[in-house]
């Protein structure tokens, strides 16, 4: 296995200070360079361990290894999605348009109703986790996914259109323990163009 077959911390599509005042430079910098980086490093360390064990045909604790791998890979992939579905205030925020807006209205009745359900999903995640907007390949329905940790309660195979991280590390510098205030702020920096683009991409995939 080549060393390139490992995870890499993606660059942010904006500057660390660009999401202020909804997400401060310090908060975003630590979140990206410390927390996200830790999942990249964690996943890569396990992959290297697996490579080594396979090379030597050595025994490993498969159950513990896969659990740890799922946590780290999930963390890396979800953060990679998150950075792209955020945008500086002005470019981000507001309401979605196009097909995404139609689907939201068809499924939830109104954007306001969707926003309320997504907010409640994010605020009520037990412990650490994520709220995600997904779409079912079988029914074509938008569905909210409330992920515990990075990998529990996931609908298998559903593409993710939008995520919000509600681990305390995502907001403790800016909002202390006030998760609901952070979730409210999120609506000002959602990159609806990106969410709409992901919808187009996954609707073109046949399932």
For Mn ion, the binding residues (CB under 5 A) are 35, 165, 167, 170
User: Shortest gap between Cβ of 163 and Mn ion (angstroms)?
Assistant: 10
Rounded distance, CA 203 to CA 207, Å?
9
Instruction: Report the C-alpha gap between 73 and 79 in whole angstroms.
Output: 10
Q: CB-wise, 32 or 199, nearer to Mn ion?
A: 32
The nearest distance, CB 32 to Mn ion, in angstroms, is 9
Task: Tell me which residue has tokens 């911390």.
Answer: 9
Q: For Mn ion, give the closer residue by CB, 18 or 165.
A: 165
User: Residue written as tokens 């064990």?
Assistant: 53
Write down the least CB distance from residue 79 to Mn ion, Å. 6
Nearer to Mn ion, 27 or 134 (CB): 27
CB 19 within 8 A of CB 89: yes
Cα–Cα dist 78/42, whole Å: 15
Give the nearer residue to Mn ion in terms of CB position, either 165 or 174: 165
Q: Which residue has its beta carbon closest to Mn ion?
A: 165
Instruction: Find the helix or strand (DSSP H, E) in which 163 lies.
Output: strand 160-165
The CB-of-179 to Mn ion minimum distance in angstroms stands at: 13
- Judged by beta carbon, residue 71 or residue 167, the one nearer Mn ion is 167
Residue 2 to residues 20, 48, 51, Cα–Cα distance (Å): 39, 10, 10
Q: Supply 182's token pair.
A: 């952070």
> What does the alpha-carbon distance between residue 133 and residue 117 come to, in Å, rounded to a whole number?
11
CB of 116 to Mn ion, least distance (A): 23
> Which neighbouring-strand residues pair with 143?
134
Least distance CB 119 / Mn ion (angstroms): 18
Which residue pairs, CB below 8 angstroms and at least 24 apart, start in 111-116? 114/142, 115/187
Q: Which is nearer to Mn ion, 14 or 111 (CB)?
A: 14
């Amino acid at each position: 296995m080549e060393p390139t077959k490992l995870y890499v911390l993606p660059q942010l599509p904006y500057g660390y200070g660009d999401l202020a005042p909804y997400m401060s430079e310090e908060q975003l910098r630590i979140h990206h360079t410390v927390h996200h980086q830790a999942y990249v490093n964690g996943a890569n360390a396990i992959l290297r361990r697996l490579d080594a064990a396979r090379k030597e045909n050595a025994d490993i604790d498969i159950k513990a290894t896969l659990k740890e791998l799922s946590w780290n890979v999930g963390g890396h992939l979800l953060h990679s999605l998150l950075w792209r579905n955020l945008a500086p205030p002005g470019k981000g925020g507001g309401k979605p348009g196009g097909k995404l807006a139609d689907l939201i209205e068809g499924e939830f009745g109104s954007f306001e109703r969707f926003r309320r359900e997504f907010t409640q999903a994010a605020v009520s995640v037990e412990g650490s986790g994520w709220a995600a907007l997904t779409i079912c390949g079988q029914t074509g329905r938008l569905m909210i996914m409330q992920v515990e940790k990075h990998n529990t309660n996931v609908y298998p195979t559903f593409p993710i259109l939008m995520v919000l991280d509600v681990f305390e590390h995502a907001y403790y510098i800016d909002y202390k323990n006030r998760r609901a205030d952070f979730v409210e702020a999120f609506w000002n920096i959602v990159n609806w163009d990106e969410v709409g683009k992901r919808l187009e991409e996954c609707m073109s995939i046949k399932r």
